Amino acid sequence: MSSFLLKLAIMSAILLLPRSNAQLSSTFYATTCPNVSAVVRGVIEQAAQNDVRIGAKLIRLHFHDCFVDGCDGSILLDNADGIDSEKEAGPNKDSVDGFPVVDDIKTAVENVCPGVVSCADILAIASQISVSLGGGQTWEVQLGRRDGRTANRAGADSNLPSPFTTLEEIKGNFSNVGLDTTDLVALSGAHTFGRARCRSFSPRLYDFKSTGNPDPSIDATYLETLRQTCPQGGNEDTLTNLDQASANDFDNNYFTNLQNNKGLLQTDQELFSTTGADTIEIVNRFASSQCGFFDSFGQSMIKMGNISPLTGSNGEIRSNCKRVN
Ligand code: HEM
Ligand SMILES: *[C@@H]1O[C@H](CO)[C@@H](O)[C@H](O)[C@H]1NC(C)=O
Ligand SMILES: *[C@@H]1O[C@H](CO)[C@@H](O)[C@H](O)[C@H]1NC(C)=O
C-alpha cells in the first residue's frame, strides 16, 4: 500500500472510532489528582456512619444524572437564572438525595486538587465506592467527564423510567440511551439496597392497574407485610426496603427475591413475572451466581457512565456542584 493510502486508512479509522467512550479513561486523574478515589472514599465512609442509605442515594444520583442528557452533573444544579433544576422533576422531587454528601466530597477533593475533578466524575467514583462499601465488587471507573452548564427538567420528567410501566416501556427507556436487556436486568440489581416510599408501589397492594385487586405477582405473605407498612389512606411517604432479604448489602438477593415474588416495585417483579420475557433467564443467572451478577453490573455501570459525556474542552469543571461557574 502506498504511504498515502496507508495514511488515509489510518485517518478514516480514527474518524470512525466511537465518540461516546473514546475519551474516558480509568487513569484520567493519575497525574492531576492521584488520590481522588481515597478522598471520595473517606467522605463516604464518614457519611455512612450516620446514614446507612448513603451509598444507595449516591448511585441513584449517578443513574438519574446519566439518563438525562448524559453524565454531565446536571442533576446537581440548583434553580438559578436559566436553570430549571432537575431536582424538582417528578421522579426526583422528595425522592433523590445525597446532595450534601456530594458537596462534602467536592470540598474535600477541591482541597487536594483544586479545579481538576468534575462533579459528574465524582458521582461515577462515588457509585463504585458505594457498591464496594455495601459488599459488592469493584470495577474500573472510567473518568474524564466534564460538567454541563444546563439542566433539563423536562428531560428528567420524560427520560427517567417510571415504576408503574410495562417491561417493554422500561426496555425502551434503556435502549434510548444505548443500554440493552442485560444492562437493564443487571442495573436493576442496584435495588439490592436503599428504600422506596409507599407511593412508589402502593397501587400494587390494593388496586393494581385499576382492577380493585392486588398485583397477582406478589407473594401473599410479602403482600401482608407491605400492606401493614403502607395501609390504604396512610402516609405514602413511609419508607421500606427495596430488598427485604438484606436491606443494606450489595448482593444478589434482589434476584432471589424476584424468583420468590418478593420484588418491591412493579418494574422489578416484571423482570421475572412477565410471561415469556427474555429477562427471566437473566434473573435466574444472576440469582444463581453472585459473581456473574457482579461482573455484569460492573460492565453495565461502565456503559451507563458512558452515556454522552462532555469531554475535552466541552463543559467545565464546576467549582461548586450546585452552580455553573
Ligand atoms: C429500571 C428502571 C428503574 C426504575 C423504574 C426505578 C425506580 C425507582 C424508584 C421508584 C425508587 C424509589 C424512589 C422513592 O420511592 O422515593 C428507586 C430507588 C432506587 N433506585 Fe431505582 N429505578 C430503576 C433503575 C435503577 C438503576 C439503573 C439504579 C442504579 C444503577 C437504581 C438505583 C436505585 C437505588 C439505589 C434506590 C434507593 C435509593 C435510596 O435509598 O435513596 N435504580 N428506584
Ligand atoms: C489520600 O487520601 C486519604 C483520605 O483522605 C488520606 O488518608 C491519605 O493520606 C491520602 N494519601 C496521599 C498520598 O495523599
Ligand atoms: C420512558 O419513560 C417515560 C417516563 O416514564 C415514558 O413516558 C416513556 O413512554 C418511556 N418509554 C420510552 C420508549 O421512552
Q: Which ligand is nearest to the CA of 194?
A: 1
284 vs 9, more confident: 284
- Locate the ligand 1 atom nearest the alpha carbon of residue 267 and give its number: 5
pLDDT tens for 56-71 read: 999 999 999 999 999 9
| Same domain, residue pair 60 and 122 | yes
Residue to mutate, 63, 157, 165, ligand 3, most ligand atoms under 8 Å from C-beta:
165
- So what's the pLDDT on residue 13? 47
Q: Is 64 annotated in the active site?
A: yes
| Same domain, residue pair 103 and 71 | yes
CATH number, domain with residue 144: 1.10.520.10
| Same domain, residue pair 119 and 243 | no
Q: Of 53, 57, 60, 64, which is the active-site residue?
A: 64
Q: Per-residue pLDDT for 164 more than 50? A: yes
**Cell numbers that stand for 111 in this block:** 482541597
With respect to residue 50, please indicate whether it lies within any of the assigned structural domains: yes
pLDDT tens for 12-36 read: 444 444 444 458 999 999 999 999 9
Cβ(170) – ligand 1 distance below 6 Å: yes
Euclidean distance between CA atoms 247 and 136, whole angstroms: 14
| Same domain, residue pair 186 and 113 | no
Q: Per-residue pLDDT for 283 more than 90? A: yes
| Same domain, residue pair 45 and 127 | yes
Q: State the DSSP string of 256-290.
A: HHHHTT--SSHHHHHHHHSTT-TTHHHHHHHHH-H
Mean pLDDT throughout 87-109?
Answer: 98
If one counts the domains in the chain, the total is: 2
First to last CA, the chain: 51
CATH number, domain with residue 260: 1.10.420.10
| Same domain, residue pair 109 and 150 | yes
10 falls in which pLDDT band (50, 70, 90)? Answer: very low
| Same domain, residue pair 39 and 135 | yes
With respect to residue 18, please indicate whether it lies within any of the assigned structural domains: no
Q: Which ligand is nearest to the CA of 51?
A: 1
| Same domain, residue pair 145 and 177 | no
Q: How far, in Å, is the centroid of ligand 1 from the Cα of 191?
A: 6
With respect to residue 155, please indicate whether it lies within any of the assigned structural domains: yes
Nearest to residue 265, comparing CAs of 174, 183, 179, 204? 204
Q: State the DSSP string of 48-64.
A: HTT-TTHHHHHHHHHHH
| Same domain, residue pair 191 and 278 | yes
Q: How many CA atoms lie within 13 A of 183 on its CB side?
A: 21
- So what's the pLDDT on residue 7? 54
Residue range(s) defining the domain that contains residue 209: 167-303
With respect to residue 16, please indicate whether it lies within any of the assigned structural domains: no
For ligand 2, atom 5: residue with the closest CA: 39
Cβ(134) – ligand 3 distance below 6 Å: no
Cβ-proximal residues to 88 (8 Å cutoff; 6+ apart), any chain: 79, 153
- Locate the ligand 3 atom nearest the alpha carbon of residue 172 and give its number: 13
Cβ(240) – ligand 1 distance below 6 Å: no
| Same domain, residue pair 61 and 154 | yes
- So what's the pLDDT on residue 21? 45
pLDDT tens for 165-202 read: 999 999 999 999 999 999 999 999 999 999 999 999 99
Say if CB 240 and CB 193 are below 8 A apart: no
| Same domain, residue pair 266 and 186 | yes
- So what's the pLDDT on residue 23? 85
**Cell numbers that stand for 280 in this block:** 427471566
